[in-house]
Structure 1
């Protein structure tokens, strides 16, 4: 059974006549009649009752019409999804890059983007398997299959609640994600080692927004992008600049949206 046979059958039913259906489809009437006949032979059941007024559905025809409507609806749905999927630009990145850099650049036209948020170690495989059109990452990849198309910097510093007192580090919790390649986590661990702080004060939270909220509520400290609202830099600490790398697959032919740079 071919998809076009279902279209012909449904058109015959909708038009109530083989002659009208042939005209609607741009076919000659014998071709339409032949396709209906082959459907009946394949299903081993009569589908239509033909009379001088046109056609009417037999019980087997009613069953087929129900399934034909479902199938054709699913095909139309698949076409729409494919069209949308072909138009959207898939970006793999981390929570912090999305919040601190990417969000403001895509919010006016967010419908054309599909965002895949994952740990740093999982971003390169997304691109190599062509499950993403671009990755934006803190990691400098040397893979020959990847092409770096842009690079920028993100300022980072240790931050506390806005207006809060200067912290005694030994009394504070330090919030980080579980992502071992996250530069905010790595800076936090290095800072705690440098100041002889207990690792028991390291609190892992796999939500960038929740880390930011906890710091804003005065529950602890965290290394965050310097432009984060509701928190403030701890003055005596120097900010650090983190490079952000933009990669596409070398085989990609998809046009890069320039509003993300």
Structure 2
């Protein structure tokens, strides 16, 4: 029994006509009739009742139809799994998300992924132009061509090095990203305004890794994801955490299999 025979059988069952099935499949009618008869011969039972109006599926045919659909579904699942293992999946994200969310997952999984680390504005353009398969961002992307498939919540807290004994907010240095759309930056600036602190206390650094290094070296403090506590940090005060979302977007017309480790 060949897979193609099952495909032909399913098309005949769907259209209730050997002639229509042949037209849709691009085959000549005798070829379709022969393949159906071959399948019936292998199974030892008729699958269709031939009439002047076309064909009507019999009870045995309904059983075969049910199994054939399952087989075809498994084949498609197999193809998708194989493609996901050999295709390079392109991901666009920010420095902070790459560090706090993707770094460990990349190290622990073998899926082939390419990473684009860009600003939030650039990420939207990359997905729009189909240059990446997924964008992981802490922003809401309002675009009808995108589909949000997943999100996680993270607490944003003010952190210092565990070796830093005292924090004086009136003189402390706050590290922020230069990305104007970074929620960590926006929250920091709002906090400084609410506390009537000085803008001169803010130092902009383009590298999220360097911000972590500077905080670790007791050069200042920063609003960082709660997961950063694993890097030798502790809360700088008793401020209530601010919840923010990390959102996962793909194009609506995407048919590329998503690596499971990204959204598990």
Runs of at least 5 residues in structure 2 that lack an aligned partner in the other structure: 1-82
Could you say what secondary structure the match of 2:109 adopts? helix
CA–CA separation in structure 1 for the residues paired with 2:98 and 2:233:
18
Map Cα deviations across residues 128-175 of structure 1 (whole Å, 9 max, x no partner): 001100000011122110000101112210111113223111211110
Paired residues of 2:109 and 2:261 also in contact (CA < 8 A) = no
Paired residues of 2:163 and 2:218 also in contact (CA < 8 A) = no
CA 1:205 to 1:165, structure 2 compared with 1: closer, same or farther past 3 Å? same
Structure 2 counterpart of 1:226: 226
CA–CA separation in structure 1 for the residues paired with 2:226 and 2:181:
20
Report whether the alignment pairs 1:114 with 2:132.
no
Could you say what secondary structure the match of 1:140 adopts? coil
Structure 2 counterpart of 1:203: 203
CA–CA separation in structure 2 for the residues paired with 1:206 and 1:155:
22
CA–CA separation in structure 1 for the residues paired with 2:121 and 2:238:
32
Could you say what secondary structure the match of 2:238 adopts? coil
Runs of at least 5 residues in structure 1 that lack an aligned partner in the other structure: 1-82
CA–CA separation in structure 2 for the residues paired with 1:187 and 1:198:
15
Structure 2 counterpart of 1:75: none
Structure 2 counterpart of 1:150: 150
CA–CA separation in structure 1 for the residues paired with 2:142 and 2:164:
43
Could you say what secondary structure the match of 1:170 adopts? coil
Could you say what secondary structure the match of 1:227 adopts? helix
Map Cα deviations across residues 106-129 of structure 1 (whole Å, 9 max, x no partner): 212356010000111111111000
| Map 1:20-99 → 2, pairs under 5 A | 87-99=87-99
CA–CA separation in structure 2 for the residues paired with 1:161 and 1:103:
21
Map Cα deviations across residues 87-117 of structure 1 (whole Å, 9 max, x no partner): 1100000111111112222212356010000
Q: TM-score, normalised by structure 2?
A: 0.64
Structure 1 counterpart of 2:128: 128
CA–CA separation in structure 2 for the residues paired with 1:185 and 1:197:
15
After the TM superposition, which of the residue ranges 186-195 and 223-232 deviates more from structure 2? Answer: 223-232
Could you say what secondary structure the match of 2:90 adopts? strand
Structure 1 segments, 4+ long, off by >4 Å, are none
User: What value does the CA root-mean-square deviation take over the aligned residues?
Assistant: 1.7
Paired residues of 2:152 and 2:245 also in contact (CA < 8 A) = yes
Report whether the alignment pairs 1:254 with 2:239.
no
CA–CA separation in structure 2 for the residues paired with 1:198 and 1:110:
47
Could you say what secondary structure the match of 2:193 adopts? helix
After the TM superposition, which of the residue ranges 105-114 and 126-135 deviates more from structure 2? Answer: 105-114
CA–CA separation in structure 1 for the residues paired with 2:233 and 2:207:
16
CA 1:91 to 1:198, structure 2 compared with 1: closer, same or farther past 3 Å? same
CA–CA separation in structure 2 for the residues paired with 1:140 and 1:207:
23
Structure 1 counterpart of 2:242: 240
Could you say what secondary structure the match of 1:156 adopts? strand
